[in-house]
Amino acid sequence: MIAASTRTRIKRLLSRIREMELEGAVVCGRDNLFYLSGHLMGEGNGPALLFLPIRGTPLLLYPEGESALSSIRDFPGESLPYGLSESGAGLAAAARSLQNRISGQLKPPLGIEPSILPAQIAWELGMGSPADWRDIEDTIVKLRTVKNGGEIERMKRAAQVVDAGQARAQELFREGVTEIGLQAACREAMERTAGKPIGCLADVLIGFRTALIGSPGGVAGENGAKREDPAIVDLLPCVDGYYADCTRTLFAGEAPKDRLGVARLLLEVKADLEALLRPGVPAAEIDGMARNRLSREGSFPHHTGHGIGISHFEPPFIREDSEDVLQKGNVITLEPGIYFEHWGARIEDDYLITEDGFEKLTG
């Protein structure tokens, strides 16, 4: 199943590359490597390099010692280890190993990820001038935005994990609880649900610091909750290579009526946004509805939502300048928020865009 899925992804990318009149592609970005080969950097794995020729067999080069990784066992091509003794280390060693093994097939122009592949390595692979390569980063990302059945199942599992973290936050949050303590408890609950250690990003802020979301100071610390304080709990666990992203606003004890009113407004706005979720709807239209409602009440400085998947932040981007249009198979977030001088509130859930609407994954 995994091999068939990866084979289909490679076939789709090669079709795009052929349309661009390229001879192949060299891929090294973490997310794109995982999407096209199963190799996941950053979870004990080192840099890898994927070569996809228009004619011939795909080749994945990964660091020696990783041959037993289940994530690449089903790669539908040739997978070979490279040694760090091969004239360098990391990506440079992988590139030189590739050059040594198949130098005759490295014929430009090739598709690359120019923001990730160092210029020196591109030059060593025979791409000495701008005419020798084309940027395919956006091409791959657009392919990734439409999820298949296997990816959707993984994302549903990630949604179950983040729900466990939010349930623990709601159960635990009270006067005296600190940001870092709350974040740690959420992570423990999510890892127990996942049954293994997982990667996790988070924004967990309490009291006046809920107004700092998105600022350099907006990370969990020893700040503790006072009576009636709000907390914004934004959790982004990565399970088997796929993210969930869910946010809740909680209160330590009984919240003041005005703050409860803000929380209710966010729920109402999110419900109105959900009514727009279906294929063919421009992302900017969704953002416009949210911005029109929320900007009357307070500050709404961020996007209304975004795509998730292998990356925690990918197209379609739901913001006012977006040209993205919802498609069946997108998995997106909706995250309306309102921020004031001394506090803020935000809620967020994940949605799968279906043929005629959506399926809510979290909550």
- Whether the per-residue pLDDT at 339 is higher than 60: the answer is yes
3-state SS track over the chain: CHHHHHHHHHHHHHHHHHHCCCCEEEECCHHHHHHHHCCCCCCCCCCCEEEEECCCCCEEEEECCCCCCHHHHCCCCEEEEECCCCCCCHHHHHHHHHHHHHHHHCCCCEEECCCCCCHHHHHHCCCCCHHHEEECHHHHHHHHCCCCHHHHHHHHHHHHHHHHHHHHHHHHCCCCCEHHHHHHHHHHHHHHHHCCCCEEEEEEEEHHHHHHCCCCCCCCCCCECCCCCEEEEEEEEEECCEECCEEEEEECCCCCHHHHHHHHHHHHHHHHHHCCCCCCCEHHHHHHHHHHHHCCCCECCCCCEEECCCCCCEEEEECCCCCCECCCCCEEEECCEEECCCCEEECEEEEEECCCCEEECCC
pLDDT of residue 96: 86
Domain identity same for 128 and 210: no
- Which amino acid, 263? A
**Span of 209-218, 225-234, 243-252, 260-269 with lowest mean pLDDT:** 209-218
Asked if residue 102 and residue 69 are part of one domain, the reply reads: yes
Same domain flag for 42 and 97? yes
**Whether residue 137 is found in the same domain as residue 155:** no
Same domain, 215 and 282: yes
Q: Inform me whether the pLDDT recorded for 213 exceeds 80.
A: no
Q: Are residue 104 and residue 197 in the same domain, yes or no? A: no
pLDDT for position 89: 65
The closest alpha carbon to 335, from 228, 213, 186, 209, belongs to 213
Poorest-pLDDT segment among 37-51, 91-105, 269-283: 37-51
Same domain, 95 and 230: no
Q: Where does the pLDDT of residue 79 fall: very low under 50, low under 70, confident under 90, or very high at 90 and above? A: confident
CATH of the domain at 47: 3.40.350.10
Query: Does residue 153 share a domain with residue 138?
Result: no
- Between CA 363 and CA 350 the distance in angstroms is 9
Are 154 and 139 contained in the same domain? no
- Could you tell me what percent of the chain has a pLDDT over 70? 93
Whether 325 and 339 map to the same domain: the answer is yes
Neighbours of 96 (CB within 10 A): 19
* Structural domains in the chain (count): 2
| Domain-ending residue, one of 144, 159, 191 | 144
Q: What are phi and psi of 318, to 5 degrees?
A: -100, 90
44 pLDDT tier (thresholds 50, 70, 90): low
Looking at residue 246, what is its pLDDT? 98
Q: Which of 123, 144, 165 is the last residue of a domain?
A: 144
278 band by pLDDT with thresholds 50, 70 and 90: very high
**CATH number for position 253:** 3.90.230.10
Reply yes or no on whether the pLDDT at 262 is more than 60.
Answer: yes
Question: What domain range includes position 41?
Answer: 2-144
- Claim to verify: residue 45 and residue 137 sit in the same structural domain: yes
Final residue belonging to a domain, choices 114, 144, 174: 144
Q: Which amino acid is at 16?
A: R
Please indicate whether residue 228 or residue 88 has the higher confidence score (pLDDT): 228
What are residue 234's DSSP bridge partners?
A: 203, 247
What is the distance between the terminal CA atoms of the chain, rounded to a whole angstrom? 29
Q: Global pTM?
A: 0.92
> Are 224 and 194 contained in the same domain?
yes
